[in-house]
Each structure stands twice: as C-alpha cells, then as structure tokens.
Chain A
Amino acid sequence: MRITLLLLGAGLSLALVSGAFAQDAEIRASADPSRVEEGAEVQYSIQILGSSQQPDEPPNLSHLPGFVVAAGPSVSSYFQWVNGKTTSSRTYTWTLLPQGKGAHTIPPIAISLEGKVYRTPIVRVDVVDAGAGGNPGGAQPGGSAPPSTFSDPRTRRRLASPPESPASLFVEASIDKSQAYPGEQVTLVYRVYTQYEIVQMSLNDQPTYQGFWVEDIKADEKYEAKAVARKEGAFTEYTVLKKALFPTSPGSLTIPPLTFRFVVRKRGADAFDSFFFNPTESVFRSSKEVKLQVKELPELGRPPEFNGAVGRFTLSALADRSDTKVNDAVGLKVAVEGQGNINTLGNPTLPPLPDFKRYDPKVEEEMHARSGTLVGSKTWNYVLIPLAPGSQEIAPVRFAFFDPQIEQYKVLESAPIRLKVARGEAGDLPMPSLPSRADIPVLGSDIRYIHLGGEALVDQGKTLYGSRLLLAVVAAPLLLNVALLAFLHRRERLAGSEALVRQRRARKTARKRLARAQGRLSKERSRDFYQELASALTSYLADKIGVPAAGLTYDRIEEVLELRGVDPGLRGQFRRCLETCDFARFAPAASEPAEMEKAFAEAESVVESLEGSVKAS
C-alpha cells in the first residue's frame, strides 16, 4: 500500500515534471504549395506543438503584405497521451492569395502562449507565371453544386474533356482608361478566364472602392462565354461584373483586389467517376489591384455656372403654359439629359426671377446603362408663382459641364421663355391675396461700371486756379474800375462845372446847414436859427437846379419846382416852410423852441422829399 502510494506519488511527480517540460511549445509554419501559379491560392498553416493550452489570442494575419486572406483560419487540434507522454498539437490554416509574381515571404507571426511570445519561422512562397507549372490550388473539400449560372453547353462539353496541359483559372480586373477626370465615368470590368468548368461563383467579400462614386452596370442574367486564346493556352472568358466608377477627387486612386470564390468541377481521371460523383472543389481567386490617375479639372475657361458636372449633356427648359394670371402657378421643367453621373448633377443656374415666387424644385432622376455607359436624365420641376402682371420673360437657364472627350467646358443655355401674365381677378382670390410687396431684391453687388467716353478728357492737372489767366482776369476789372473812377473825377474837375459839383453836393451842403441851424435852436438865437434854416432850403434848391440863390423869390421857386415836375403838395410844403422862417425872422417876439423844432423837422423832410423828386438838370 505504502509502495503503491509511493509509486503513485513518483508517477504523479513524473507526470508533473513531464508536464512542466511540455510547456516549452514548438511552433511550425508552412505553405502548401510553396510554388504556385499566379492567381492560385496557398494554404498557410501554423502548427503549435507541445502545448495543450490555447494561445491567448488566435494568430492575426490581417495585415499580411503581398497576400490577401481569402478564408480562414480553420482550427484543428490533436491530443494524445501515451504511456505518460503527452502529445498535443493545434493547427490554424488560412487560404491565402498571393498578389503578383515573384518571391513572397510570410513574416514571423507572433503567438502568445501563457504569457510567452513565440514567433513563427519565415515562410517563402514563389509565384510563377500561370501555366508555368504549379498546382491549380490547394484542395478544399467542396460543397454541393447549386444550379450553375454557367450553363453554356458548349463550354461544358469542351471542359468536360480533360485538357492536356494543367488547366488554370484566374480573374482579371480592367478599366477602360488609365487617366480620367473627376466625375468622368471609368468602367471597371471583371473577367474570369477559365479552363475548368465553373459550377458556382460568389464574391468573397463586398467590394469597396475608396474615392469613387460607384454605380452597378447590370450584367446579363447569364454570363456570356467567349473562347479566347491567351499565351497560356485556350480559355473561356466570362465577363462577370461591370461597374461604373466616378472618381470624386483628383490624385492617384487604387482599385483594390477583389476575391472571388469559385466552385469548379474536378476532372476525374476516369470519366465514370466524374459523371456520377460530380466531384467539385472550391477555389479562391483574386484580381490584381488597378491604378487610376485622376487629373485635375482645368482652371482655364471654367464658367462660373460650373458645379462639377462631367460628361456630355443637353439642356431643356419648358413652361407648362404660356398664359397665366397673377398668383396662378406655372410649372417650369428644367431637364438635363446625357451621359455622365446623373446622381451628382448640381442644380442648373436659374436666372433671377424677381417677379416670381419660386419654390424648391421636385427633382426626378433616371439612369440606365447603354452599351456600358451610364446615361440618364435629371429633371427639376419648379413651381413659379407670378407676382406681377405683364409680359414676363424667363431668361435662359444655364448649365455648365466639362466634356472630358474634348477636354473643354461647355455652357448650355435654354431658350428664353415668354409668359403672358394677366391681372388676377380680385373677385376670385381670397382677400389677402394681393401680390405681396417687397423691397427690390438685392441679387448681387459690384462696383459701378466704368465711365465711357463722350466728354472731352480735360487735363485737370492744369487748373484755372493758380494760373496767370486767373490773375489777369482778377486784376483787369479791378484796374479798370480804378481807372474809371479816376477818369470820372478828372472829367468833373476839368469841366469846371461848379454847378455839377454843387448839384451833387446839394444834399450834403443842405445837411450841413441844417446841422448848423440845429446848433442855434434856442430862444435867444431864434432869428439866427430861422435865417440858417431858410438859407439851407433856398441854397439847396439853388444847388440842385443850378441857379444862383439870390434870384429865388417865392414865385420863382414855385415856377422852377413846377418845371421840374415836383407835385403841388410838396411845392406848397416848401413854400410854407420858407414863409414860416421869414415870418419868424421878422416877428417882434422870439419863438418858442417847440415851434422851432417843428420848423426844423419840416425843413428836413422837405429836403429829403425833394432829393427824391427833383430831376437833375
């Protein structure tokens, strides 16, 4: 019992020791086959030996340069315990598609086992020309064969007979041009070349095309088969997928490889086998990546209306009627038709429509492929409400696009549309339906236009100001006036016409005398006062009419004044004034100052009145 226990303990400890020993795992990696035809697949496996533990994370092959992972990993594990010795292995297998010819290497893949990191050895895969000898692909047990779309009986027959040379299958992606403009259609075609009979085909993953707007071009229900001769031998060509790509921006764009899964009928060595068991196998093939250079749209000649349309289009604009009423809607249908990416067409440029209310358009699109090119039409249905009556014209609608074939911009212009807008009837409109008034809309702002010719281009640098002419024109009349003054003075003096001088100075002299008389305005000197007053009056008159004062009697004065057209009232006043003076001069009693003042005022007013009414000789 003791021994048994001891033995058991020893065995246990041995097992523990050996278990500890088995912790050191071994990692192997291999590719099968290591030499393949271009386009064929490779089975890559990583085997972990000696550890019953699962790796912390399954090995990651997502970024394997030069390969596309078509399937995997599939995992198989194996565990054996023989005579106390443990054997375990775990195998991960991937289906890889090498990209391009030449030597490819699968770099070390890190695998973490119980905290310890192991690395796989480097594995080399040689890719040779198709048909240059290689395995058609690692076999994988194929599934059942669903109804084939490849049902060309001719092909079936041809392929049913075993070909002499090793048969192959590959996928080719091609574009119809290597250079394009943004928005220009590039047709991408995937063709399958096969020497097998294909039973079924499917896409391994959904294709993504970065930097492109993609439209499918519908392929026919049945793939058309075409026999082609290539340098590798005779193949059957199927066009399996067609896409219209529209680059969105300039630059160098890459169309990534696309992986297909095919189920092909295996050629059996004996016809009986192949007839009854229909052995099939599944293979993966991927296309090569395709480069496309996208050029910039030229700056030169780019019209302002251009908003990215590339292709070849026609434009039409139609109103649904030509007669309408104010507030009665008119439909304006603007249609652009042609080849190009209809989906991304921007709105055409509508002319300013200040006399209409415009609603956002209803847009309709229609697109289909015609012999590989996408064509279609886009229609904008505008609703316009006329706001003002009269004959209105909708100016041409403009639409600009770039024609990549002639590499030029083109501007389309529709014919102008004439509309007769009648006045709306007030009766049949709801009350607040008068056309709403608005400010004249601001449709744009700019500098004012240049001045056109018409007026002489006067050199404004030479101004009248500061010129000699100005000086002359200013000085001349001044000098003339001074000369005139001097001349008149001289003439008056030379003529010696005392009378003239007297006449001109009459009023001045009279005023002086009156002032002197005013100085004597007192009771004591009343006689002198009146004397002076009388002489002021008579001498004024004498000066004015140019006669000596001595001869001026009352009657003579009367006569002279009448002759000069002085009215009788003033004549009487003059005479009364003189009489007052003479009476006072010879009266025995002195006058009162009040009386004198009255007489003075009278005399003054007579002189002023006469100044205005006595005509000069």
Chain B
Amino acid sequence: MKRAALSLLLGLAVVWLAPQAAWSAQEPGAARAEALFSQGNEAYSKGDFDAAEKAYRGIVDLGIRNWRVYYNLGNACFRKNDIGSAILYYEKALRLQPGDVDTRENLRFASLRIRDRIPPDSTPFLIALLTRAVNLLSLEQVTRLFLALYLMTMAVLAAWIVLRGRRWALAVGALAGVLLVSALGAGGWMVLQAGFRNATDEAIVLSEKLEVYSGPGSDNTLLASVHEGTKVRIHARRDSWTQVTLPDGRSGWLRGEALGVI
C-alpha cells in the first residue's frame, strides 16, 4: 500500500514537471522571445504601439505560439485602430487559452467596433454550456489532468493486481474502476479540446470591406459585402478564392488574401 502511494506521487510529479523541463528553458528562441516581449511591453506602456506590435510580431515570427503574446499583440493592434487584426489575435489567444477572461473581455469590446451586425448566438443552451465547460481548461491543462488520472488508474490497478484475492482487493478494484472512468472522461475532453484548438476553419476579415460572390471569381453575382472584424467559417479553397459561411448563415466566395485564419 505504501509503495503504491509512493509510485502514485512519483507519477504525478513526472507528469507535472516533465513538460516544463522539456520545453521552457532549453528552447534557443526562448531568451530572444522573452527579450522581445519585454521590449514590446515597454513600447506599449510608452504609447508607441507600432514598435510594440513589431516586437510582438517578432515573437510570432520565431515560431512561438503563446496566448499572452497574441493577447498583447491584439491590444497593440486595437490601439492602432486595426480592429480586424486585434480580433484575429484575440481569437488566436483564446484558441490557446480558452478560459482567459481578459481576452474574452477585450474581444467583446473590440467586437463593438465591427460594422457588420453579428446575429445573436443561437447555439442551444446545453451545447453552449458544454463548450464553455470544455474551454474551461487549456489543452495543456486537460492533457495533464488526463495523464494524472491515467497514471493514478494504472497505479491503483497495479495495487489491485498485487492484492488479488486478499483483503481490500475489492475496494482497490472499485477505486481503479472509478479512476478509469474519470481518466477516459478526461481523455475525451482532451480530444475535444484539441479538435477545437487545432481547427483552422474560422477566419477574420482583415480588410475594410470584402465582396462576397456566388462563385470563385468576381464575374459571379455579388451577394454581400462583409467588413473588417467579421468572423467567417471556411469551407473550401480554389486558387485565391475561399468559400465561406457568413455569420448570418449565407454561403459565398471571397478573396482569401484578406482573411486571417485563426
């Protein structure tokens, strides 16, 4: 029993510490990214939003995806009155840190400046609630939760194997069962979360005005025009044209270069 508890603790420690040890310090770009980040923050606090934006973009160009960087970049774009980019970066930050209140609040605030009226969210209540629950933790956190539960399950299972046919075996087995169910739940959550995060089917309109045609090409019927900051769902691509669904549910084609994929 003592051995089992010890191995369990050890397993948890490994799960929590391994990723940090593996990624944070050793990256060659990490130090450069840190420097750029504080440089950007400095410029932002002085009101030089161009310089701030440049510094934050430098981090993105290093290939580092971090929600704080996207969040700050969104703020810098907002200050420069580049609402489309601000919304795009807030959305990107939310992909990485879905539960962040600051980002949600700023996204809401920036969305007030969009010209197109966004129809009210018609997602059923339960789905919305579920989505919120799924987004409560970031993918990394859910993965760790899953791993912790899984390792606990495995440890308890090992204990059960040893204790078979003795006293406590039944209780330990029951505990293993409960843990297994929770680990599977967390696993499902993790997969959902990863699906949400890695989805590339949403985009933000970055140019001031974008025409939507019935087909790929400007000789088709003009259906609508969308404005900066509006979120569209991507379906297909052909050459430089992208088929999208507009917030009101209509579908059409528009020039893809003025879209920022989240």
Contacts and interface: CB of A to CB of B under 8 A. Distances in A.
Contacts of B102: 448, 451
Contact of B23 (A453, A459, A478): A459
A438 interface: no
Nearest to A452: B41
Contacts of B165: 504
Interface in A459-487: 459-466, 469-470, 473-474, 477-478, 480-481, 484-485
Contacts of B140: 460, 463-465
B72 A450 contact: yes
A451 to B, nearest CB: 5
B154 A478 contact: yes
Nearest to A473: B147
A453 B41 contact: yes
A491 to B, nearest CB: 11
Interface string A602-617: 0000000000000010
Nearest to B153: A477
Interface string A492-521: 000000000000100000000000000000
Interface string B159-180: 0011011100000000000000
A456 B65 contact: no
B18 A469 contact: yes
A359 interface: no
Contacts of B65: 459-461
B112 to A, nearest CB: 9
A483 to B, nearest CB: 10
Interface in A430-464: 445-453, 455-464
Contact of A485 (B27, B69, B143, B161): B161
A462 B68 contact: no
Contacts of B34: 453, 456-457
B143 A463 contact: yes
B73 to A, nearest CB: 9
Contacts of B33: 457
Contacts of A485: 161
A488 interface: yes
B200 interface: no
B75 A449 contact: yes
Interface stretch (B103-111, B127-135, B217-225): B103-111
Contacts of B138: 460
A455 B161 CA distance: 42
Nearest to B64: A459
A461 B194 CA distance: 12
B11 A477 contact: yes
Contacts of A484: 158, 161-162
Contacts of B63: 459, 461
Nearest to B59: A457
A459 B194 contact: no
B147 A470 contact: yes
B166 A616 contact: yes
Q: Which of A450, A466, A480 has the largest number of chain B CB atoms within 10 A?
A: A450
Contacts of A446: 109
Contact of B66 (A449, A459, A466, A478): A459
A469 B37 contact: no
B22 A465 contact: no
A470 B22 CA distance: 12
A450 B71 contact: yes
Contacts of A616: 166
By DSSP majority rule, is chain B's interface helix, strand, loop, or mixed?
helix
Contact of A469 (B11, B22, B150, B157): B22
Interface string B38-59: 1001001000000000000001
Contacts of B59: 457
Contacts of B78: 447
B67 interface: yes
Nearest to B165: A504
B143 A448 contact: no
Contact of A460 (B18, B66, B144): B66
A464 B144 contact: yes
Q: What is the interface residue range for chain B against chain A?
A: 35 or more
Interface string B1-39: 000000000010011001110111101001001100110
A451 B161 CA distance: 49
Interface string B93-121: 00011000010011001100000000000
A350 to B, nearest CB: 24
By DSSP majority rule, is chain A's interface helix, strand, loop, or mixed?
loop
Contacts of B161: 481, 484-485, 488
A484 B155 CA distance: 11
Nearest to A506: B165
A451 B71 contact: yes
B143 A480 contact: no
B149 to A, nearest CB: 11
Nearest to B31: A457
A451 B75 CA distance: 10
Q: Which of A452, A461, A504 has the largest number of chain B CB atoms within 10 A?
A: A452
Nearest to A505: B165
A455 B69 CA distance: 12
B139 interface: yes
B157 to A, nearest CB: 5
B204 interface: no
A104 B27 CA distance: 88
A456 B66 CA distance: 10
Given A448-B105, A450-B44, A460 B67 contact: yes
Nearest to B104: A448
A481 B158 contact: yes
B155 A464 contact: no
Given A460-B67, A484-B158, A447 B106 contact: yes
A473 B22 CA distance: 14
Contact of B15 (A445, A450, A462, A473): A473
A120 to B, nearest CB: 61
Contacts of B64: 457, 459, 461
Given A460-B96, A481-B158, A484-B161, A448 B66 contact: no
B139 A463 contact: yes
Contacts of B154: 477-478, 480-481
A452 B42 CA distance: 9
B232 interface: no
Contacts of A449: 75
A447 B190 contact: no
Contacts of B37: 453, 457
Contacts of A447: 75, 78, 105-106, 109-110
Interface of A: 445-453, 455-466, 469-470, 473-474, 477-478, 480-481, 484-485, 488, 504, 616
28 contacts: A446-B109, A448-B102, A449-B75, A450-B71, A450-B72, A451-B68, A451-B72, A453-B41, A457-B30, A457-B33, A457-B59, A457-B66, A457-B69, A459-B30, A460-B97, A463-B139, A464-B144, A465-B139, A465-B140, A465-B190, A465-B194, A470-B143, A473-B18, A473-B147, A481-B158, A484-B162, A504-B165, A616-B166
Given A457-B69, A465-B140, A616-B166, 18 more contacts: A447-B105, A450-B44, A450-B76, A453-B41, A456-B24, A457-B37, A458-B24, A459-B63, A461-B65, A464-B140, A465-B139, A469-B18, A469-B19, A470-B143, A474-B147, A474-B150, A481-B154, A481-B157
Interface of B: 11, 14-15, 18-20, 22-25, 27, 30, 33-34, 37-38, 41, 44, 59, 63-69, 71-72, 75-76, 78, 96-97, 102, 105-106, 109-110, 138-140, 143-144, 147, 150-151, 154-155, 157-158, 161-162, 164-166, 190, 194
A-B pairs with lowest CB-CB distance, top 8:
A477-B154, A461-B65, A504-B165, A450-B72, A447-B106, A464-B143, A459-B64, A451-B68
